[in-house]
Structure 1
Amino acid sequence: MIQEGCSFVGTSFVSFSDMKAFQVLLVLLLTAAAADAQSFHLGSCPQPPVQEDFNITKYMGTWYEIEKLPAMFERGKCNQATYSPLADGTVSVRNAELLPNRKINSIEGVAIVKNSSQPAILGVSFFKGVPDAPYWVLSTDYQSYALVYSCSDYFGLFHVDFAWILARTRVLTEDLISQLHDKLAAAGVNVNRLTVSNQTGCDVMY
């Protein structure tokens, strides 16, 4: 039954009240993203190229966060991620950070290659029943640096993205960081919004 004051969108009917509620929800989402300094943009997620012939075995081990786009779920310093192979072919993920009270905050999840023909594109899940988050390895030499990108699309109207410069050590040379900025910029990442991660005083993380 078609009610008065309805418009046809695609193959379904949506009432003006529903559209207004959706608009309010969208504004709230954008406001929340802005409040948490998230990196959000209009339109769908970009599709940057990823690492060719990615070798996930070489990628295993611990990576330290050098720079990142703002991420509301990171509240401490000394951020690091450790990846370990699991018997079923998936990857164990352990993210850890040092909170201001000197307590270690960590979370464990599982990463899975989404398509065997594109092993650099993974999905990471930390909670059962929650869709996994994209994890795209844009570039890495396995021994010193890695560039990681993640983007979530909301109704094709806007997207929120994250990017990380990771390293095998807690420091990275300025020359290499500059080169990685160029790679991120070429992938469509706004490098002006990158923040430097604090990797000092991390002795308790070992």
Structure 2
Amino acid sequence: MIPLVLTTIACITLAEAQIITWFGGPCPDVTTKENFQLLPYMGRWYEISKYPNSFQNGECGTAQYTLQDDNTVRVNNTQLKEGGVIDTVIGEVRDDPNSDVPAHLQVRFSSWQPWGKYWVLDTDYDSYTVVYSCSYYVINKVEFLWILGRERTVEEETKDKILQMLDNFKIDATKMVDTVQDEDKCDL
């Protein structure tokens, strides 16, 4: 029975993400943005860098966040796929009902999908945000990480500050890949 459970967990995690650490221990202890506020977070964010994953493998990634009347957030993720095909997926973000930490949010892109972690590690609301998710499954951990910006790039000083924060949290930034944000190509 245990091998079947472990195989099932492995298949699920492999289908959802590429940054999987086997037998590497639990998720790192991180802090999130103190006094996080949802309203100034709304608007368009450009994907700068991320951990590779199976659902975001295009270029020109953006996320548009819109606050709804029920205090949930509509998220519109758009990317440019091979051949110039625009790929859009609509999801929702909410406060984590099991946490009283404002920066502990949850996200999903289908009503059939379980809620995933969306933790805002840091943001200045005007130029950058860092979003992280880590789930530990006894023998492995699955991580997602994004650096987003209000513009298609972030200042080097800002990026250095983010990388230092990730290093302090023991989050491996070397696994991140930059997202192509060519202005001529990415006018979505």
TM-score under structure 2 length normalisation: 0.89
SS of equivalent residue, structure 1 residue 105: strand
Q: How does 1:1-206 map to 2 (within 5 A)?
A: 18-25=1-8, 28=11, 32=14, 38-41=18-21, 42=23, 43-115=25-97, 117-154=100-137, 156-200=138-182, 201-205=184-188
CA RMSD for the aligned pairs? 2.1
Q: Which runs of 4+ in 1 moved over 6 A?
A: none
Identical aligned pairs, as a percentage? 34
SS of equivalent residue, structure 1 residue 204: coil
What is the CA-CA distance between 1:23 and the residue it aligns to?
A: 4.2
Deviations 1:55-94 (Å, cap 9, x if unpaired)? 1101000111111111111121000101000011111111
SS of equivalent residue, structure 2 residue 83: coil
What is the CA-CA distance between 1:117 and the residue it aligns to?
A: 2.9
Distance in 2 (CA, whole Å) between partners of 1:198 and 1:90 is: 29
* Structure ID, larger Rg: 1
Distance in 2 (CA, whole Å) between partners of 1:29 and 1:194 is: 22
What is the CA-CA distance between 1:169 and the residue it aligns to?
A: 0.1
Distance in 1 (CA, whole Å) between partners of 2:186 and 2:18 is: 29
Match of 1:5 in 2: none
Distance in 2 (CA, whole Å) between partners of 1:184 and 1:27 is: 26
**Aligned partners of 2:17 and 2:143 also within 8 Å:** no
Distance in 2 (CA, whole Å) between partners of 1:26 and 1:88 is: 34
Which has the bigger relative contact order, CA under 8 A and spacing at least 6?
2
Match of 1:8 in 2: none
Distance in 1 (CA, whole Å) between partners of 2:119 and 2:6 is: 30
What is the CA-CA distance between 1:125 and the residue it aligns to?
A: 1.4
Letter of the 1:38 counterpart = Q
What is the CA-CA distance between 1:19 and the residue it aligns to?
A: 2.3
SS of equivalent residue, structure 1 residue 129: coil
Match of 1:15 in 2: none
**Structure 1 residues 19 and 121: CA distance shift in structure 2, 3 A:** same
TM-score under structure 1 length normalisation: 0.81
Unaligned 5+ runs, structure 2: none
Distance in 2 (CA, whole Å) between partners of 1:184 and 1:151 is: 13
